[in-house]
Copies of this chain bind each other. A is one copy, B any other.
Amino acid sequence: MNALLLVAHGSRRSESNEEVAELAGRLAERAEGRFDIVKYAFLELATPSIPDGIEQCLQSGADSVSVLPYFLARGTHVVEDIPEQVAIKQKQYPDTDIHITPYLGTVAELPDVLLKLTE
């Protein structure tokens, strides 16, 4: 089974974390047929952590986990912190496909998406 793990920064504001949980729910609806499991995790300030989120996917039966960084810029979080957290589980489960996808800020369609906000 394929799992998608949406990884956000995490906030002290519970409302921001709930926005991520809600987005993961909408993602699950749209991902039907592509991902059997959709969960979310936070880099910091909120739970579940990234390793715990990956573990949740594996416990749900995933044999492949795509970790999707919900980040706009190619900063330290994207380049170092998320890979470090994911590596913990990659080492623990060397025979499982656990990989990181490109981050949100790289999506070619961003200009069109942004223009929708001005309609």
A residues apposed to B, CB below 8 Å: 4, 6, 8, 11, 13, 15-16, 19-20, 23, 26-27, 29-31, 34-35, 66, 68, 70, 72-76, 101-118
> What residues of chain B lie closer than 8 Å to A111, measured between beta carbons?
23, 26-27, 29-31
- The verdict on A27 contacting B101 (CB below 8 Å), with A11-B75, A74-B19 known, is no
**Closest Cβ of chain B: how far from A83's Cβ, in Å?**
16
Q: Please name 17 pairs of A and B residues whose Cβ atoms are closer than 8 Å in the assembled complex, sorted by A.
A: A13-B75, A23-B111, A27-B114, A27-B115, A30-B111, A30-B112, A30-B115, A31-B111, A66-B118, A101-B117, A103-B117, A104-B113, A104-B117, A106-B117, A107-B116, A109-B116, A113-B113
A30-B112, A111-B23, A117-B104 in contact; A72/B74 too (CB < 8 A)? Answer: no
CB neighbours (8 Å) of A112 from chain B are 30
Is the CB–CB distance between B73 and A72 below 8 Å? Answer: no
Residue of B nearest to A70 (CB): B72
New A-B pairs, 19, CB < 8 Å, besides A68-B114, A70-B72: A11-B75, A13-B75, A16-B73, A16-B74, A16-B75, A20-B73, A29-B111, A30-B111, A31-B111, A34-B118, A66-B118, A70-B114, A72-B72, A101-B117, A104-B114, A107-B113, A107-B116, A109-B113, A113-B113
